[in-house]
């Protein structure tokens, strides 16, 4: 049996650090008030001329370097983003060219903040099915270009960044041997209005009116989304652990989507996760949408929080509504 295994991780955030004072002043909030609301002290925003594929390249190269392989040797690239360089071609194809990975298949996945695990699932199947021996999974977002600075629900939260993981195929001796044990994907399209960008697609093409009415910015119903996110992700984590016969005490490290500090605290409490087993980067980088989970995972790996053959639990929830979980044995 062939199983996919992550052999290298990487991440990148832009140099520009945006403080709580920068984003909070429009709402009469000081830096500590923003921190109490969000758990964030800084978010990173892309510089002028810096786009999604630029961030993706930096993270992808870091993952390949950690794995000790050349980016040109990968067989497939699956890139998660809802803030691509352009509508088409895909940012994955732009990344493929930048990496010199001329023989790699490349495509984008759009599942909002759940996109990294959706992409991981696709890559896992490519590897297990024998179509790819090495597959780059990348999530990259430049959300700062789609924010309304006068909308407190979004302006305080979002940052830019990219995270990546390199998967390779390896023989597995048993159902719980090292590698990606399972990825579970969920969606509820009836909740599509909770977080979205209304204009710019075929339903509302860009016009002078859509620009004037600010329909090209990210909007979010924070309260309802928060409540659903906690319930759906907590239930999915419980189901994942039950399916694989593990207790939370047996999980060495947990990494969730870095939506905001309150969501992470609520999930930790509801699922009984000890603080030292739940890695977070929300305070320093903000909510980077689908890139947040791989950025945090790379941070945990580089901080020595992930040991060989350790069970690692991943979970995320985002627009669509979409949510997902993954269980790995490192």
Select from 154, 171, 188 the last residue of a domain.
171
Query: Which CATH number fits the domain that encloses residue 164?
Result: 3.40.47.10
Q: Are residues 37 and 186 in the same domain?
A: no
Count of structural domains, the chain: 2
Q: Looking at the structure, tell me whether residues 16 and 160 fall in a common domain.
A: yes
CA distance readout (Å), 241 to 26, 196, 244? 43, 31, 5
List pLDDT tens digits, range 253-266: 999 999 999 999 99
Confidence of residue 277 (pLDDT cuts 50, 70, 90): very high
Catalytic residue set: 113, 257, 287
Question: Whole-number mean pLDDT of the chain?
Answer: 96
Residues 104 and 14 occupy one common structural domain: yes
Average pLDDT over residues 122-150: 96
Q: Are residues 147 and 209 in the same domain?
A: no
Average pLDDT over residues 13-29: 96
Q: Domain check: are 105 and 187 in the same one? A: no
Distance in angstroms (rounded) separating the CA atoms of residues 165 and 137: 5
pLDDT at 240: 97
Instruction: For 238-254, write each residue's pLDDT tens digit.
Output: 999 999 999 999 999 99
Q: Is residue 76 within a helix (H) or strand (E), and if so which, with residue range? A: strand 76-80
Question: What is the per-residue pLDDT for 197?
Answer: 87
| Whether residue 191 is found in the same domain as residue 129 | no
Pick the range with the lowest mean pLDDT from 33-37, 67-71, 172-176.
172-176
Q: Are 118 and 198 in a shared domain?
A: no
Same domain for 111 and 11? yes
Q: How far apart are CA 281 and CA 267, in angstroms?
A: 15
Measure CA 48 to chain center.
23
| 294 in Cβ contact with 163 (< 8 Å) | yes
Per-state percent for the chain, helix, strand, coil, to nearest 5: 40, 25, 30
Residue reference for tokens 């509302």: 204
Q: For position 4, what pLDDT does the model report?
A: 96
Q: What is the pLDDT of residue 84?
A: 97
Handedness of CA 57, 63, 66, 72 (dihedral sign): negative
What is the distance between the alpha carbons of residues 274 and 209, in angstroms, rounded to a whole number? 50
Q: Provide the pLDDT for residue 262.
A: 94
Residue pLDDT, tens place only, 38-78? 999 999 999 999 999 999 999 999 999 999 999 999 999 99
Between CA 147 and CA 15 the distance in angstroms is: 19
Last residue of a domain, one of 119, 143, 171: 171
pLDDT at 211: 87
Q: Examine the fold and report which residue of 145, 171, 197 is the final residue of a domain before the chain moves on.
A: 171
Mean pLDDT calculated for residue range 11-39:
96
3-class state of residue 11 by DSSP: strand
117 plus 186 within the same structural domain: no
| H or E stretch covering 277 | none
Pair 115, 213 in one domain: no
End-to-end CA distance of the chain: 17
Domain span at 96: 2-171
Indicate if 185 and 324 belong to the same structural domain. Answer: yes
pLDDT range class, residue 213, cuts 50, 70, 90: confident
How much is the pLDDT for 27? 95
Note whether 147 and 213 are same-domain residues. no
Supply the angle between the helices 91-99 and 52-67 in degrees, to the nearest 10.
Answer: 50
């Amino acid at each position: 049996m062939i199983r996919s295994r992550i052999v290298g991780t990487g991440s990148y955030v832009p140099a520009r650090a945006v403080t709580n004072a920068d984003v909070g002043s429009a709402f009469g909030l000081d830096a500590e008030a923003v921190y109490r609301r969000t758990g964030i002290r800084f978010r990173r925003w892309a510089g002028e001329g810096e786009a999604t594929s630029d961030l993706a390249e930096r993270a992808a190269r870091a993952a390949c370097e950690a794995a000790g392989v050349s980016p040109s040797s990968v067989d497939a690239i699956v890139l998660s983003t809802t803030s691509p360089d352009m509508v088409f071609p895909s940012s994955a194809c732009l990344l493929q060219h930048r990496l010199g990975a001329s023989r790699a298949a490349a495509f984008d996945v759009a599942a909002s903040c759940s996109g990294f695990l959706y992409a991981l699932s696709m890559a896992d199947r490519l590897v297990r099915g024998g179509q790819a021996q090495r597959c780059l999974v990348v999530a990259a977002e430049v959300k700062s270009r789609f924010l309304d600075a006068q909308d407190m629900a979004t302006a305080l939260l979002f940052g830019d960044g990219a995270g990546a993981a390199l998967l390779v195929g390896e023989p597995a001796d048993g159902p719980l041997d090292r590698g990606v044990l399972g990825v579970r994907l969920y969606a509820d399209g009836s909740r599509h209005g909770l977080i979205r960008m209304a204009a710019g697609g075929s339903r509302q093409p860009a016009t002078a009116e859509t620009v004037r009415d600010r329909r090209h910015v990210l909007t979010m119903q924070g309260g309802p989304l928060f409540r659903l996110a906690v319930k759906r992700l907590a239930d999915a984590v419980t189901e994942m652990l039950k399916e694989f016969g593990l207790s939370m005490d047996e999980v060495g490290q947990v990494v969730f989507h870095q939506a905001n500090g309150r969501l992470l605290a609520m999930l930790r409490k509801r699922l009984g996760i000890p603080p030292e087993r739940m890695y977070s980067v929300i305070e320093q980088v903000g909510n980077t949408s689908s890139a947040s989970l791989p950025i945090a995972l790379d941070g945990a790996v580089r901080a020595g929080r992930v040991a060989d053959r350790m069970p690692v639990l991943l979970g995320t929830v985002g627009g669509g509504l979409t949510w997902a979980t993954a269980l790995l044995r490192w």
